[in-house]
Every structure is written in C-alpha cells, then in structure tokens.
C-alpha cells in the first residue's frame, strides 16, 4: 500500500532554528500516530509539514491535498457567527452549495452533541464545546486524515475526556474506512489510548518510531535516549 504521507529526509529551518532535521516518515491510511517530545522538539513543525502548511527547506514531502485533510489546534479558530455557520462555511469554502452545507453542518453538530447549540455564536461556547465544534467542522468535510496539535491541552478534565472520545470515534472512521490520525500530545495516557504508533522527537530529529507498547517499555526508552526516558517519567508523574 502506498503511504498517505511520505517524508524523505525533510529539514525545516525557521529563522535561525533548525526545527526539523533529516526526518523520514511514512504514514499509511488508517494509522494512528502520536508525535511525542519535549517543548520545542518539532512536533508542531512536523504537523505543519504533513498538512502542507510548511514547505520543507530540505528533502521532500508527499502529502494529501488540503481538501483531503483537516487540522485542529490547541485553541480552535472560530468565525464570529453561529456554530452551524462555522461548520457550513467550512464546507462552502470547499465548494459545497450553501443549502447542502447547512444541512450537512447540522448533521455534523448532531454527531458531536452540539445540535442544541447550533444557533449560538461559536465564541460563546465553552472551551470543550469549541473544540467539539472544530471537530464537527473537520468531520463534516469527511477528510482522509485528521491532524491535531495538542487538541485537549487547554481543556478541563471533563472536556478533555469528551473531546478525546470524539477523536477516537472519528478515528474509527465512516463507511468502513478508518481515518488516519496524527496528533501531537504531552498527555501520555491519551497517547496510549489513541495511538497505535509513536514517533518520538528530540531537537527536530525523529529518535524513535515504534508501536505504542514498545514506546512505554522502560528498557526500550533507555535505548532511545536518556531524555526520552526522563521525558516519559516526568510526564507520567
Ligand atoms: N516561526 C518560528 N520562527 C522561528 N523559530 C520557530 C518558529 N516556530 C517554531 N520555532 C522553533 O522551532 C523549534 C520547533 O518548534 P515546534 O513548535 O515545532 O516544537 P513543538 O515540539 O511543537 O513544541 P511545543 O511542545 O512547545 O508546542 C523550536 O525551537 C521553536 O522555538
């Protein structure tokens, strides 16, 4: 099977910083990949390369076109209009006629438990509801891949669980087609629950790319690097 995302020896330079170095990564359709590493290790930069937002300074990146993927950030970017319009506008911009877009938007809001709030302004919603709205907007477009940058980092524990459950549901896919999931997270419990594979980054390099169970094996972590071991210990504490 041809990978959905294919990076070969990708380097990214931002100003004077080498945000990514020599990153080779293949992601197949339906995989659930967690990007893990300390602050500044390059997780966001890697997600932006996968999303096509950030062109590599070196190497090459083959990624799906923008209409085939959706990206979510720690804090959603919402427009000053109703929840329903926020979703419908995303569809309309992707070429769906407005009437259809409104119908599909309501369907997506139902899927995410927000139907009762369809007429509320997006920005009046709670943090967790806003992130669910961002997921509704992504889901409505039925992308092949969902990229998430710390999607629950700014939420309270209850909202975290709700948003994570939705992500898991979306990852399970629709019509027998599992969605490809790539997410950056500091929440190692979340990594265990959502990911099948872990890509560990240190100073812009991929030091490990392993099945999730192997990543949480102590001996394996020490083999990756002392920092990886310390990182997992501190984040699990
Ligand atoms: N626009 C920018 N200009 C210059 N340097 C940048 C820019 N954006 C990020 N960097 C630097 O690139 C490196 C990688 O940053 P990146 O945001 O990808 O890491 P991260 O692992 O996502 O970090 P965090 O967990 O804090 O979000 C860091 O050293 C960061 O300071």
Q: How far does residue 42's CA lie from ligand 1's centre (Å)?
A: 6
Point out the ligand 1 atom lying closest to the alpha carbon of residue 150. Answer: 27
Lowest mean pLDDT among 54-68, 72-86, 114-128, 163-177: 163-177
Residue 53 lies in a domain: yes
Q: How far does residue 170's CA lie from ligand 1's centre (Å)?
A: 28
Query: What is the tens place of the pLDDT at every residue in 1-23?
Result: 889 999 999 999 999 999 999 99
Point out the ligand 1 atom lying closest to the alpha carbon of residue 37. Answer: 21
Range(s) of the domain holding residue 231: 5-64+179-236
Quote the pLDDT of residue 164.
96
Q: How many independent structural domains does the chain possess?
A: 1
Q: Residues of the chain with pLDDT > 90: what percent?
A: 86
pLDDT band at 234 (very low <50, low <70, confident <90, very high): confident
ipTM of this predicted structure: 0.92
Residue 159 lies in a domain: no
Taking residues 89-113, report their average pLDDT. 95
Residue 77 lies in a domain: no
Query: What is the tens place of the pLDDT at every residue in 30-59?
Result: 999 999 999 999 999 999 999 999 999 999
Residue 30 lies in a domain: yes
Q: Residues of the chain with pLDDT > 70: what percent?
A: 100
CATH number of the structural domain spanning residue 215: 3.40.50.300
Instruction: Find, among 75, 35, 227, 66, the residue nearest to 159 by Cα.
Output: 75
Look over the chain and give the mean of its residue pLDDT values, rounded to a whole number.
Answer: 94
Radius of gyration of the chain (CA): 18
Query: What is the tens place of the pLDDT at every residue in 159-190?
Result: 999 999 999 999 888 777 889 999 999 999 99
- Which amino acid residue places its CA nearest to atom 29 of ligand 1? 40
Q: What is the spatial distance between Cα 61 and Cα 42, in angstroms, rounded to a whole number?
A: 16
pLDDT band at 78 (very low <50, low <70, confident <90, very high): very high
Residue 151 lies in a domain: no
Residue 131 lies in a domain: no
Taking residues 104-126, report their average pLDDT. 94
Q: How far does residue 19's CA lie from ligand 1's centre (Å)?
A: 6
């Amino acid at each position: 099977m041809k990978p959905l995302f294919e990076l070969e020896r990708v380097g990214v330079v931002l100003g004077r910083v080498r945000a990514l170095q020599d990153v080779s990564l293949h992601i197949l359709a339906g995989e659930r990949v967690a990007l893990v590493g300390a602050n500044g290790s390059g997780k966001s930069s890697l997600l932006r390369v996968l999303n096509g937002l950030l062109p590599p300074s070196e190497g090459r990146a083959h990624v799906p076109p923008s209409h085939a993927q959706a990206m979510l950030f720690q804090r959603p970017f919402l427009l000053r209009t109703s929840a329903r319009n926020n979703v419908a506008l995303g569809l309309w911009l992707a070429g769906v006629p407005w009437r259809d877009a409104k119908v599909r938007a309501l369907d997506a809001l139902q899927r995410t438990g927000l139907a009762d709030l369809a007429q509320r302004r997006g920005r009046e919603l709670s943090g967790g509801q806003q992130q669910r709205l961002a997921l509704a907007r992504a889901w409505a477009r039925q992308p092949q891949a969902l990229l998430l940058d710390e999607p629950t980092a700014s939420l309270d524990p209850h909202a975290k669980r709700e948003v994570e459950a939705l992500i898991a549901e979306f990852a399970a896919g629709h019509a027998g087609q599992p969605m490809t999931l790539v997410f950056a997270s500091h929440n190692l419990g979340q990594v265990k629950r959502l990911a099948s594979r872990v890509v560990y980054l240190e100073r812009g390099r991929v030091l490990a790319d392993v099945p999730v169970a192997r990543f949480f094996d102590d001996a394996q972590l020490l083999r990756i690097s002392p920092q990886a071991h310390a990182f997992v210990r501190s984040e699990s504490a």
